[in-house]
Chain A
Amino acid sequence: MGNPNLRNNLKVFRARHDLTQADLAERIGVTRKTINTIETGRFVPSTVLALKLARAFEVPVEELFELE
């Protein structure tokens, strides 16, 4: 489910945009738990969901997710 080599900056971007997990979940149409599990690295999102997240913050997807 998770991938130890994948790091994400979702929490940082969320804080920068002053968004709660619930706000972000509503924006991209998923549950808050999904955002939570992505942030904690327990779940790796699909390309589509990663792109939706990147679009929500108006940044390239590589800024949100990076391989170590």
Chain B
Amino acid sequence: MTGENGGFIEITERLDRQRNQSLAWFMWSFLVWSFLQIFVIIGYAITGLQGSPLLPWLFLGGGLVPMALWVFFLLRYLFLGRRIRSNPVIAEALRDEMVRDAWYRAAAAGFWSMLAVEASFTILKVLSTVLIGYFLGAPQLLMFLEIRSPLAIAVGLGVTIGTYLRYRRD
């Protein structure tokens, strides 16, 4: 099982490392991008509906780089997957039971973390009648609730990929 680019182990190690690096880069750039979006929404909520004139520029300028990075590393991860699948022996090794087990555990951790975020916002929504007027105005609260989906996705994705990479470390 040798090829022009090395033996079986060299190839599997390299592809596994590249795949995990792509996942890590995708996760971090996606988290930066998501939290920037959340930061801008909170910024609008705090400064009022008009917001600061800097906020859209911050969102656009600061968001483009991490977005380009996560799209690039997601595509790299997918292309690596295609390359791995083209060799059944390597594909089998890189999808062994430890890898599958790590993904199952990561998916479970991601599911529970997303559920926790969703539950927190549901509680917040229930309490909103109390919060409005005392702590927050209605527009601010509505904007605050807008972060629900991006936050749930960011936390779920971050926990899933982070858990997978933690289990796959040496």
Q: Which residues of A contact B (CB under 8 A)?
A: 1, 22-23, 25-26, 29-34, 36-38, 43, 45-46, 48-49
The range of chain B's interface size is: 20 to 34
Partner of A43, one of B9, B12, B92, B98: B98
Closest chain B residue to A22 by CB distance?
Answer: B9
User: B89-110: contact bitstring with A at CB < 8 Å (1 yes, 0 no)?
Assistant: 1001110111101000100000
A-B contact pairs, 12 of them (CB 8 A): A1-B105, A29-B89, A30-B97, A31-B13, A31-B96, A31-B98, A32-B12, A37-B98, A38-B98, A43-B101, A49-B96, A49-B97
For A36, A37, A49, the residue with the greatest tally of chain B CB atoms inside 10 Å of its CB is A37
Given the known inter-chain contacts A26-B8, A49-B97, please indicate yes or no for A33 contacting B92, CB distance below 8 A.
Answer: no
Apart from the given pairs A25-B93, A26-B7, A33-B98, 9 other A-B contacts in the complex at a CB distance below 8 Å: A1-B105, A22-B9, A22-B13, A25-B12, A33-B16, A33-B168, A33-B170, A34-B97, A43-B101
The answer to whether A34 and B98 have CB atoms under 8 Å apart is yes
Q: Does B126 contact A (CB under 8 A)?
A: no
Contacting residues of chain B (11-32) with chain A, CB-CB under 8 angstroms: 12-13, 16
Q: Which residues of B contact A (CB under 8 A)?
A: 1, 7-9, 12-13, 16, 89, 92-94, 96-99, 101, 105, 167-168, 170
Given the known inter-chain contacts A1-B167, A25-B93, please indicate yes or no for A30 contacting B1, CB distance below 8 A.
Answer: no
Closest chain A residue to B98 by CB distance?
Answer: A34
